Chains A and B, each alone.
Chain A
Amino acid sequence: MMMRFSLTPLPGDCIMESNDVTARQIYWRENRRWMLILGTIWFVVSLGCGIVWVEPLNQIQVGGFKLGFWFAQQGAIYTFIVLIFVYARVMARLEKRLGFEEPEA
């Protein structure tokens, strides 16, 4: 990217601006990609495993739990926690990479 800008001479503020615009586009695209991935998992563990596919999953016994019942009353909640922390982490990394890090208040 630096190469391209150095090859096309533009006034400094324009470089800053178009650089910023591209970074914003990358940021938003990546953000939406992660929302889609994590949102799918969110949907699958709760409304999927906990409700729609609960009967077939209940045929599987894990310890004292029927698996579908476990997802509905325990598993979905644990997964939700993991999803939020994964999202927080990937977004923090993305912000660091693209220079969108906020100053510590």
Chain B
Amino acid sequence: MSLTETTYLVVGASFALYIFIAIRSRAGSTQEFYVAGKGIHPVANGMATAADWMSAASFISMAGLIGLSYNGYGGSVFLMGWTGGYVILAMLIAPYLRKYGKFTVPEFIGDRYYSDTARVVAVICLIICSVTYVIGQMKGIGVAFSRFLETDYETGLFSGMVIVFFYAVLGGMKGITYTQIAQFCVLIFAYTVPAIFISLQLTGQPVPQIGLGSTLADGTYLLEKLDRTLLDLGFQEYTTSVRGSTLNMAAFTASLMIGTAGLPHVIIRFFTVPTVRAARTSAGWALVFIAILYTTAPAVAAMARLNIIQTLEPQPGQHLAVEERPAWFKNWEQTGLLGIEDKNGDGLIQYSADPDTNELVTLDNDILVLANPEIAKLPNWVIALVAAGGLAAALSTAAGLLLAISSAISHDLLKRTLMPDISERKELMASRLAMAGAVLGAGYLGLTPPGFAAGTVALAFGLAAASLFPALLLGIFSKRVTREGAVLGMLAGIGVTLAYVFQHKGIMFIPGTSFLGDLPPNWFLSIEPNAFGVVGAIVNFGVTLTVSRLTAPPPESVKQLVEDIRVPVSSS
């Protein structure tokens, strides 16, 4: 069976599974549609959260980001940032919002800040964060299809939309939860199997996390070898190269951490478990499942980078001839992820940090994960599995985001603001319509991605960190914060962050409209735009607390609400 046939078979089987689950788990009430009836076991929810959380970016791009773009140590910002947020979530956010016990994040903000304005501002912030995020997932679906199944991008995108449409519209949170559990199993298997093999081949150690610190066949440590090889090629040392400055790395990490704890599609997953206690353990399980991938990724990054370098230059000074490059290398050249140019005409490929002499002219981040099974000479079914895994990662995250968007529209805008008298049955219908609209809207944005689609995932975290996170945290931990404070705080936080990004990256990312230029010397305290969320969050906290002091304290009922959510059982 050819590789394409195997891939169709494996991806087709995984899609059939998702549809089977969708039919088995239709939602019959708004409670089921929004929060899966609050009956999900904490371990199962942990798995679903892990799939919800790990996007196409985590699966396909992260190892390459760490290993190539951020040259090793600098990429730690993603590893610590995208996992550390779960500690904040488990201690400061999830248990209290679960106790509050309703359906959406803006709903809590609206009730806690006794104001429909606050609710609507929260809905707007939610939509800005989630839409930025979902475009990346739709693109991921299209790209994964076109690379592995040799369809064109549009066909791939449509197939993905049909699948998501099916289970998200039918089952809402209930359908999404069970498909996410299946998707987690597919994606984690697809990620770890090639990693185990590459680790075995390089270090003889089957556990990649240990392999990263083990010795190669020649007795030198893998990381030491990589450091030395990169220095020889003119790069910085792998284990010590800092991204920007120490302050920039700290700000970037902190932005991703608090962004994680403020992203609505993650928070609402914790509304689906039966108790406050279960919300805490579930966050722990989610991190266990996420950590399987997140501790494997740095090993894949280092090993695949070394593998590629050793393919091109097996011994120092002995370069691979253009004619002798392996089959996988030629295959990936066709996709445009790898590219060579024999600049000095000696028939050999010289890889170096110097752009003038470097002959490996294209080395895409995604190649480290995508080409791994072929580099490690694994059978076709493993390669097919990587395709199914990438699609599972993109579909599961897209579905979670679409639910966050559609429930904000049907529940917060319609039921809680515009038409409070709408019946349960009509609201369920409205939520399905909102979901259908969200799928179509996301598909449209995936087809005609606004210029800024690339690299916006990290931005979504900054926006969530600067807008929703402070409002949630202060809403739980302060009884004095007022609606005026929260509304102005959210607007100031998201405004400052967007303004900073726009001034360096262009207004709405249109090239040429940036008025300060995308240049490090113009960065505030040398903090790059993607890392600015933490500054936005500080502005938000400052504005909220100051305005709250100047305005009338919240009514007694709000103080009661805060008292009530702090303790797992309501007083008798």
Contact = CB atoms under 8 A, between A and B. Distances in A.
A67 to B, nearest CB: 11
A76 B134 CA distance: 28
Nearest to B283: A84
A24 B567 contact: yes
A38 B91 contact: yes
B73 interface: yes
Interface string A34-76: 0100110010001100111011001000111110011011101
B215 to A, nearest CB: 7
Contact of B223 (A31, A69, A87): A69
Interface string A14-27: 00100010001001
Interface string B33-71: 000001100000000000000000000000000100000
Contacts, number: 150
Contacts of B291: 77-78, 80-81
For chain B, which range describes its interface: under 10, 10 to 19, 20 to 34, or 35 or more residues? Answer: 35 or more
B441 interface: no
Q: Chain A interface secondary structure, helix, strand, loop or mixed? A: helix
A64 B221 contact: yes
Q: Chain B interface secondary structure, helix, strand, loop or mixed? A: helix
A105 B76 contact: no
B73 A69 contact: yes
Interface string B477-498: 0000000000000000000000
A86 B569 CA distance: 21
A16 to B, nearest CB: 7
A28 interface: yes
Interface string B430-457: 0000000000000000000000000000
B83 A77 contact: yes
A76 B249 contact: no
Nearest to B73: A69
A52 B73 CA distance: 13
Nearest to A84: B284
Contact of A102 (B222, B276, B566, B572): B276
For chain A, which range describes its interface: under 10, 10 to 19, 20 to 34, or 35 or more residues? Answer: 35 or more
Contacts of B221: 63-64
A47 B249 CA distance: 9
B283 A80 contact: no
B106 to A, nearest CB: 25
A27 B95 CA distance: 14
B298 A74 contact: yes
Interface string B274-297: 111100110110011001001100
The 9 closest A-B pairs by CB, nearest first: A105-B274, A64-B221, A72-B76, A64-B213, A84-B284, A88-B280, A73-B298, A65-B213, A69-B239
9 contacts: A24-B571, A69-B73, A73-B295, A78-B295, A80-B84, A84-B91, A88-B277, A91-B280, A105-B274
